[in-house]
Amino acid sequence: MTFKKNWERSTELFEVPAAIIEGMVRQAMPHNKLLSYELIPEGCSNLNVRLHIDEPAAPSLILRIYFVNQDGPFMERLSYRLLNNRVPMPCIHYIGKYEGYQFSIAQCMPGISLRDFLLSDHAPHEIEKMMFAVGVVLSRIANFQFPCSGTFNRELAFIGGCSQEGYLHFMNLFLKKKIILSHFSSEILLKIEQFTEKNKNLFPTGEETSFVHGDFDANNLLVDQIEGEWKVTGVLDWEMPFSGSIFCDISNMLRYRRQMPSNFENSFLTGLLSQGVKIPNDWANRVDLLNLMALLSCLAKTNPEKSPNQCADICKLVEEIVES
């Protein structure tokens, strides 16, 4: 299940009637004709639809319907305004609401997902070049610095940050939840606690101010072959950005590193280093600690009956961390 390949999608994503999709397009583009559309299967919490319209300049667009984060399209538009001159990312052409559904229409970026590239039969040197390029792209995102750390809203007003004590507090809260306790043996739970206690000082301090994508993984990057070389052509899903540590994004990209050949992580880190990003010797423990917290947070919100594959994958990843 590397890179969430077999994670279940919410069934509600398939219940949007065709009339709703067509109405959204009419609202956003009253002077254009919708020729056809198809659902894009990727994604766990939003519905993405590729639109084909009678517009030579942009024959394909992406309709995105937000089921969880109603601020999502506004945060994606804000991220584009801040970073579009640094990394390839889709321009948000329209944000609207139709029949209670929050949606956006955005530029369609070329390429396939980095996940599909990595899980295909590519030569080692191609993977190395690709992951080096991914490291360079992340460095360009993180080089954008805010005046302070924390989360912010669509108006770029900062709401609040999280200290090392805050991270540890959240980790301890997850370890008290019944749903978390039900998934692991007492031995694994003890190892989670011991790993956290040993490495708690590696949580971000709350003073880091880099632009953090918030979901920088292989599913949210597009790559394409251009003039014989594979390159990053798009960074997607900018719904959850914040100001903080670059390791929040590094950990996301390296979550499945134990299931990949060593050149996957080595080339990615080399790409970061080439742009002046400092990678401390204890980077692996920093990555594992942040992933452990993120995985437990996700597991606490996952219904094991509706999403058994997702639960099994999360538990496997947690056990890989604490038993390595």
What pLDDT, on a 0 to 100 scale, did the predictor assign at position 311? 96
- Is the model's pLDDT at 59 over the cut of 90? no
pLDDT tens digits for range 284-300: 999 999 999 999 999 99
Question: For the chain, what are the domain ranges?
Answer: 2-107, 112-323
Q: In this predicted structure, which of 143-147, 157-161, 188-192 has the lowest mean pLDDT? A: 157-161
Q: DSSP string covering 80-98, please?
A: HHHHTTTS----EEEEEEE
Percent of the chain with pLDDT over 90: 87
Q: In this predicted structure, which of 9-13, 97-101, 267-271 has the lowest mean pLDDT? A: 9-13
The contacts of residue 57 (CB under 8 Å, 6+ apart) are none
What pLDDT, on a 0 to 100 scale, did the predictor assign at position 2? 76
The pTM assigned to this predicted structure is 0.95
Cα(24)–Cα(114) distance, integer angstroms: 29
Q: For the CA atoms of 310, 6, 230, 52, what is the dihedral angle to 10 degrees?
A: -110
Q: For the CA atoms of 120, 240, 135, 133, what is the dihedral angle to 10 degrees?
A: 60
pLDDT tens digits for range 260-319: 999 999 999 999 999 999 999 999 999 999 999 999 999 999 999 989 999 999 999 999
Residue the block writes with tokens 């279940």: 8
Cα(71)–Cα(184) distance, integer angstroms: 34
Q: 181 vs 52, 172, 189, 309, CA distance in Å?
A: 47, 12, 8, 18
Q: What's the start-to-end Cα distance of the chain, in Å?
A: 19
* pLDDT band with cut points at 50, 70 and 90 for residue 57: confident
The DSSP output letter for 110 is P
CATH superfamily of 2-107: Phosphorylase Kinase; domain 1 (3.30.200.20)
Q: Which of 19, 30, 40, 215 is closest to 101 using CA atoms?
A: 19
Contact 62, 49 (CB under 8 A): yes
Report phi then psi at 106, rounded to 5. Answer: -130, 165
- Is the model's pLDDT at 11 over the cut of 70? no
Question: Which CATH number applies to 112-323?
Answer: 3.90.1200.10
Single-letter code of the amino acid located at 136:
V
Bridge partners of residue 230, in order along the sequence: 225
Whether 2-107 shares its CATH topology with 112-323 is answered no
Q: In this predicted structure, which of 9-13, 44-48, 63-67, 220-224 has the lowest mean pLDDT? A: 9-13
Q: DSSP string covering 272-299, please?
A: HHHTT----TTHHHHHHHHHHHHHHHHH
Contact 224, 230 (CB under 8 A): yes
Contact 47, 123 (CB under 8 A): no
* pLDDT band with cut points at 50, 70 and 90 for residue 56: confident
Q: Which span out of 155-159, 177-181, 231-235 was modeled with the highest average pLDDT?
A: 231-235
Percent of the chain with pLDDT over 70: 98
